[in-house]
Structure 1
Amino acid sequence: MSDYVGSCLCGDVKFEIKGEFDSFYLCHCHHCQKDTGSAHAANLFSQSAELIWRAGADNITSFTLAGTRHNKCFCKTCGSALPSTAIEGLLVVPAGSLDTEISKVPNAHLFIASKASWDNELESLPTFNKLPK
């Protein structure tokens, strides 16, 4: 049995993770901001978990930024971020790609010197359960 399951937005790619995550980081570097189109990436890391592609492996592509270890695997159809094993011995799983709830909370924020200028005191903003009218 899998410890975690996940998929892309369109559902073409499905995967399982057998094992546990060592760490969970929110990365605010400029690469992750561009990569996600948001304030930060939320990635889980494991040096021992096993990644098993259950569907759509032929629909996965990846991009590695030249001169860096920054890599993104994603679905060719919908562009959703997917797990990566581009760094030898390390599984990197975008937290939002999991369909299984995780109890682990982030360990830390990384590269906060690069933090987006608008990413401050967001807890004070109004909240809505759905798109406001």
Structure 2
Amino acid sequence: MTTFGGSCLCGEVAFEVEGPLDRFLNCHCSRCRKATGTAHSCEVIVKASALRWLRGEAAVARFDLPGARSFATAFCKRCGSPMPHLTRSGREAIIHAGAFDQPLGVSPDRHVHWASRAQWYVHGDELPVEE
């Protein structure tokens, strides 16, 4: 099995995930846009038992959106980086793909909540690339 390591921007928090990765998706719902400040969140979903904290778990804050059946976010209290969190059922862990420290070797396999996508979002290779 492959292990994928990740951390926050300031390095206070580190974790690892034991593969395989169950799902890798781009979520376009309005809540994910608000939580990330981007067109969509890019999330890896694994079984809860696949996530292990290496350091700084106490530095992770969780926010459960009041009134929402299943929406939550987690972040480093020091630098604000999105961090892994368990679903409310506790069966799965959600990890923002940008939190991983090395390439995952796979790409997102689906877009979810596509009908809710931002009106300004451009999908595909229509934009010029700047390096």
Shared fold, TM over 0.5 = yes
Q: Tell me what 2:79 maps to.
A: 78
1:51 aligns with 2:36: no
Structure-2 separation of matches of 1:29 and 1:7: 25
Q: Tell me what 1:104 maps to.
A: 106
Runs (4 or more) in structure 1 with deviation over 4 Å come to: none
Range moving further from structure 2, 32-41 or 100-109: 100-109
- TM-score normalized with structure 1 length: 0.89
Structure-2 separation of matches of 1:71 and 1:65: 6
Instruction: Give the aligned CA root-mean-square deviation in angstroms.
Output: 1.7
1:115 maps to a residue whose letter is R
Number of equivalenced pairs: 129
Q: Tell me what 2:38 maps to.
A: 38
- Structure 1 spans left out of the alignment, 5+ residues: none
Shift in alpha-carbon separation, 1:4–1:117, aligned structure 2, 3 A = same
Structure-2 separation of matches of 1:30 and 1:50: 28
| SS state at 2:115 partner | helix
Structure-2 separation of matches of 1:71 and 1:2: 27
Range moving further from structure 2, 30-39 or 64-73: 64-73
- TM-score normalized with structure 2 length: 0.90
- Structure 2 spans left out of the alignment, 5+ residues: none
Task: Judge conservation of contact 1:19–1:48 (CA < 8 Å) in 2.
Answer: no
- Cα offsets for 1:47-85 (capped at 9, x unmatched): 265211111122110101112211111100111111111
